[in-house]
Chains A and B, each alone.
Chain A
Amino acid sequence: KNQVEQSPQSLIILEGKNCTLQCNYTVSPFSNLRWYKQDTGRGPVSLTIMTFSENTKSNGRYTATLDADTKQSSLHITASQLSDSASYICVVSRDTGFQKLVFGTGTRLLVSP
């Protein structure tokens, strides 16, 4: 079954601290993996995208890693800011000729002052 699981479900950290979010997937055939940030009441915004051959991708304070062998990805946020408070969604794209996205349930991050 094609699934994307994320952990933790929710996380509270102090402003300025780092954190790492995890994503495990069983999606096949794999095309690419994206991390999205979704602010409350808003649509998802893409942070990073990685294909099978890429094992790390950075976007400012966000760094994503991908281990295609173990089917795991992580999103590391450094020097967190209050504006980082949001849901972070891991999305894996299936390569079936018609790209279909499989969404994780998300990690709700709260950055506390």
Chain B
Amino acid sequence: GAVVSQHPSWVICKSGTSVKIECRSLDFQATTMFWYRQFPKQSLMLMATSNEGSKATYEQGVEKDKFLINHASLTLSTLTVTSAHPEDSSFYICSARGTSGPVGTQYFGPGTRLLVL
């Protein structure tokens, strides 16, 4: 089956630093990748959608200058949390959509837990 990986799985950083999270589709080409954020006991909230080679589309209320998304290839997207603050501490999950499978099928990564001190 389609596999999506994320790296790192855990990251702890000081306030003010930038953190980069990678999302890779391991056995398929992902034309579109999605980034979600999930707070404790809440459901996933879509942050942005990125298509390979073009700028990401951000959801309302998500700061594009703070959450930089790059989707430079069909198998890799990165999310950079710039100047992270404690309120950015969350569980970040990416998903990838290819061209096969039922319409709209997204394959989710295992998530990256970010803790900003």
Contact = CB atoms under 8 A, between A and B. Distances in A.
Interface in A83-98: 89, 93, 95
- Chain B interface residue count: which class? 20 to 34
Contact of A104 (B43, B97, B105, B108): B43
Contacts of B7: none
A106 B104 contact: no
B43 A106 contact: yes
A41 B104 contact: no
B29 interface: no
Given A104-B43, A108-B41, A42 B111 contact: yes
Contacts, number: 47
Nearest to B57: A98
Interface string A44-76: 111001010000000000000000000000000
B106 interface: yes
Interface residues of A, number: 21
Which of A36, A46, A105 lies at the interface centre, i.e. has the most chain B CB atoms within 10 A of its CB? A46
Nearest to A104: B43
A92 to B, nearest CB: 10
B104 A93 contact: yes
A99 B102 CA distance: 11
A11 to B, nearest CB: 14
Interface in B47-68: none
Interface of A: 31-32, 36, 41-46, 49, 51, 89, 93, 95, 99, 101, 103-106, 108
Q: Is the interface of A mostly helix, strand, loop or mixed?
A: strand
Contacts of A95: 103-104
A57 to B, nearest CB: 11
A37 B108 CA distance: 11
Contact of B93 (A43, A93, A104, A108): A43
A41 B43 contact: no
B85 interface: no
> Which 6 pairs across A and B sit closest by C-beta, in order of nearness?
A99-B104, A43-B108, A93-B104, A103-B43, A43-B110, A43-B111
